Amino acid sequence: MNRLVVVSNRVALPGKRGSAEGGLATGLARALEERGGLWFGWNGRVAETADSPPALLSNEAVNYATVPLTRREYDEYYVGFANRCLWPLCHSRLNLLRFKRREYQTYLNTNARFAQQLLPLLSDAPLIWVHDYHLLALGERLRQAGVRSPLGFFLHVPFPCPCTLRALPPHRELVRALLAYDLLGFQTIFDCDAFLGAVRLCVPEARVEERAVSYGGRRVRVLPFPIGIDVDEVAQLAERGRSGLHGKRLEASLTGRQLIIGVDRLDYSKGLPDRFRAYGQLLEHWPAFRRQVVLFQIAPLSRTEVPEYDSIRRELNAIAGDLHGRYADYDWLPLRYMTRGFPRRTIMGFLSLARVGLVTPLRDGMNLVAKEFVAAQPAHDPGVLVLSSLAGAAQELKDALIVNPYDGEQVAEGLAQALSMPVEERRERWSAMMKVLRDYDIHHWAQAFVHALAEGAGA
């Protein structure tokens, strides 16, 4: 197999995996552990200078090469352009988009610096696979530095539709930059179509085909590769987590009540305020569920330097207080809401104890928690997934109860249906979803992408 170099802003360094690293880190860690390769990116730290050669670290399968960010890069590339401009853009939240030319320039410079520091590591690396919105321009910078290897790019978040994309001042430049890659992978067919629409808008001289773009004498393929999970790993962790100390304590604390669970980084794209309000509607309109259910929301803090993340935290505190004030009893609290993280095993154990997985992002590239919830369920008595139609996962997990997260009444109805669903129907839905998860797991995702990249290069 070809030697693979993976590049992403966030790197899940062994022994340092945080609780709020997100789907990219979870997915790539599993994919690389199996296939091996080099993983290059940010070491998670801020330093005075960042020009030294990358720090190297290895375990059995993966070599890691990481670099710090300077204070300016952290503030302007990561917090600024990536997370205050591209993130809201990709999640269709134009009211939150904030563009600053200086931050954009630092973003391009940081992409160029990553390219320069990667170059000396490329000697025996024919396949380069770049990830996510932090590094849209990295491929172009590598090409400018003379790299001829096949270059692939995978976007973990949604690609905005052309009319939304136009709000980004340098949209033409970034769409052109993406055409430096040989293979562009997206989570769903909708994202592929949105990108092809963007090419029509921004690069009129390019020829757009059904799943490719011909431009400047090159052909760039544009394909969906929905990211999956390691089903057996999740099932094993869930079993261990469930019978571990925290799993036992959670189960005992429920005293027979049905558990509804949500696990998300504390991010405005996850729709947490609407989720809490929809749960309030369940308690309001189906009073029989009062005292019989508990919503447990784990939302580890994420990107705390971005002001919008602080606002969402305060908003959630207020709604949580309101729910308690309205519905709590002296011996029952409807909601358990925590912003701290837990080890992965504990989280999977918690998921397996829930009757309902409530995954209602307002927009999400894929949403791995939805898949983990299903894989964590016990086969004889599985829970029900209530899933947002606006998460990439809804394109695959058709046997979930699919709801529109903007329609609180529909979410409340979905909850009521899930909580009352007979075991036979739960098993049927769960088996159908497990088949999809097994057929398109994390290993299939990595293999399909790498195969397509190598194939396109004639390797």
88 binds ligand ADP per the rule CB under 6 A: no
Q: Nearest distance from residue 325's CB to ligand ADP, in Å?
A: 26
- 26 vs 111 by CB, closer to ligand ADP: 26
Catalytic residue among 191, 230, 264, 364: 364
Which of 43, 297, 302, 377 is in the footprint of ligand F6P by CB under 6 A? 302
Per CB under 6 A, 19 contacts ligand ADP: yes
- Distance of closest approach, residue 209 Cβ to ligand F6P, in angstroms: 29
Give the footprint of ligand F6P on residues 6-35 (CB under 6 A). 10, 21-25
Q: Based on CB atoms, which residue is closest to ligand ADP, 117 or 388?
A: 388
437 lies in the binding site for ligand ADP (CB under 6 A): no
The answer to whether residue 41 forms part of the interface with ligand F6P (CB under 6 A) is no
Q: Is 264 a catalytic residue?
A: no
Asked if 33 touches ligand ADP (CB under 6 A), the answer is no
Residue 452 contact among ligand ADP, ligand F6P, none, beta carbon within 5 to 8 Å by kind: none
DSSP strand pairing (37-47 vs 4-10): parallel
Check 131, 156, 230, 399 and give the catalytic one: 156
Among 201, 342, 416, 444, binds ligand ADP (CB under 6 A): 342
Report what 388 binds from ligand ADP, ligand F6P, none; CB cut-off 5-8 Å by kind: none
Q: How many residues bind ligand ADP (CB under 6 A)?
A: 19
Active site residue 156: yes
Q: Does 309 bind ligand ADP (CB under 6 A)?
A: no
Binding site partner of 29, from ligand F6P, ligand ADP, none, Cβ cut-off 5-8 A by kind: none
The mark string for 252-291 relative to ligand ADP (x by CB under 6 A, - otherwise) is -----------x-x--------------------------
In whole angstroms, how close is the CB of 83 to ligand F6P at the nearest point? 6
Residue numbers annotated as active site: 156, 364
Binding site for ligand F6P (CB under 6 A): 10, 21-25, 132, 156-157, 302-303
